[in-house]
Chains A and B, each alone.
Chain A
Amino acid sequence: MSTWWRRNRWALLALPLVAGALVLVGSYRVHTFWDRWQLTEPVEATAGRPTTFNDTLEDANGSYEVALTVEAGPTTVAGAIRDAEGQTHFFPTHEGTRVWQTELTITADPDTILSGCSARLVDTEGRTTHYTQTTAGVPLPVSPCVPADATGPGAELGFGGDATPAPTRPETFTVPVVFRTAEDFVPNRLDLSWSTPRYLSIQLDVEEGP
């Protein structure tokens, strides 16, 4: 047996190196199948400080650039929201939950397509919840990143037909982003994304109300 070990000593020594090399050679799969499709490239921002974010997006007409400056206000527990018509909607109360609101002040070229935006709230423990129109209990805008009554241009989805042109968006506007969370869910970051893997990750200034 000892002769076998001796005869093959170089191959045996090379074995761990070869195994390591195989792992390295296959590692592109993490990039190809995971990194590009997940939010893996944060652009760090802090509430109260304007931060510029840009990304290259794609729709049926080809790729285009978005560039915007975002400033998040304080994150507070909210009782009601005012809709585009100026009407106030009270959030239904639900045992053990709170509704959080963060106002975003966004500056962007009115011709930029910004409506296809996703927002998620991350708490101090890393738990996440996504913005949806329904979770707060009152109807909210489809997109959390543009004014509901002045969305500006939308992405060309390739279904054909030409919808009525959306009302022009002002260059600078303020929109509330609203989430319902559990009582123990203390917001920490607000992530905004239009595509993967780049996203704007805002460190929130949380004001825990009464």
Chain B
Amino acid sequence: MSRVDHTARRWVGRGGTVAFVLAALAVARAIGDDLPQTAERYAEPHLVEVSMGQEADLRLAHVSVDNPRLAASVRGTIDLYETSGVWVIVDVTFTPTVEDAGIGYAELVDTEGRSYRTSRFESNSCRVSQPLITQRCAVALELPVEAVTGAVLRLAADEFRTSYDSMLEVDLGLEAEDATGLSADDAPVVLRQPDLAGTG
């Protein structure tokens, strides 16, 4: 075997390695672009799924939800709120564990993944509470009647920043049929206000 032959074969071998590495990088990029970004996944709220009435151990508080019901109108301390859809009202009980905390974020997610956030000034009566002081309050969210079946409620501490934080998720177990027969003439559901007036 000549020396020239040997060198040529070595270069072909190197070229093959380079081609393989480039091809592997291209494939990895093509797959990687379609996978969820790890940084985004870390930032997603950490969902803590509980059943109705069961306590969720969130980062800053123990939180539970009960008494889900539907209504055509709700009454806060300031005003009466009507809706062209239907109100979903739940009672919320929470106890901060390490520092002052509240329930700033409330959202309903229907089976299609559509999101319904707090829409009125008094939609969320929860205020900030202090460590170990239990607060009882209410959240009222409005959504179209056809979105009621299978909707889940999500609650978290901060209204604007939910990333990297824990978030309660509870299946409300409500059906669209429950909304039939509701009328704006019915007595409005009165939203539960925190016992400790003027908190937070």
Which A residues contact B (CB, under 8 angstroms)?
92, 94, 96-97, 123, 126-130, 132, 134-135, 137, 179-185
Contact = CB atoms under 8 A, between A and B. Distances in A.
B99 interface: yes
A128 B60 CA distance: 11
Contact of B198 (A127, A130, A135, A181): A135
A181 to B, nearest CB: 6
B196 A137 contact: yes
Interface in B141-200: 195-200
A181 B130 contact: yes
A137 B198 contact: yes
Contacts of A96: 133-134
Given A126-B98, A130-B100, A184 B132 contact: yes
Given A94-B195, A127-B97, A179-B130, 8 more contacts: A96-B134, A97-B133, A127-B132, A128-B100, A129-B131, A132-B200, A135-B200, A184-B132
A185 B129 CA distance: 13
Contacts of A126: 98
B200 A134 contact: yes
Interface residues of B, number: 16
Nearest to B130: A129
Contacts of A135: 130, 196, 198-200
B97 to A, nearest CB: 8
Interface of B: 97-100, 128, 130-134, 195-200
Contact of A181 (B97, B131, B195): B131
CB-CB nearest 4 A-B residue pairs: A182-B132, A127-B131, A134-B198, A129-B130
Between B98, B130, B196, B199, the greatest number of chain A beta carbons within 10 A of the residue's beta carbon is seen for: B130
A123 B132 CA distance: 12
Contacts of A184: 132
A102 B98 CA distance: 22
B148 to A, nearest CB: 36
16 contacts: A97-B196, A127-B98, A127-B99, A127-B131, A128-B98, A128-B100, A128-B131, A129-B100, A135-B130, A135-B200, A137-B196, A180-B130, A180-B133, A181-B131, A181-B133, A184-B132
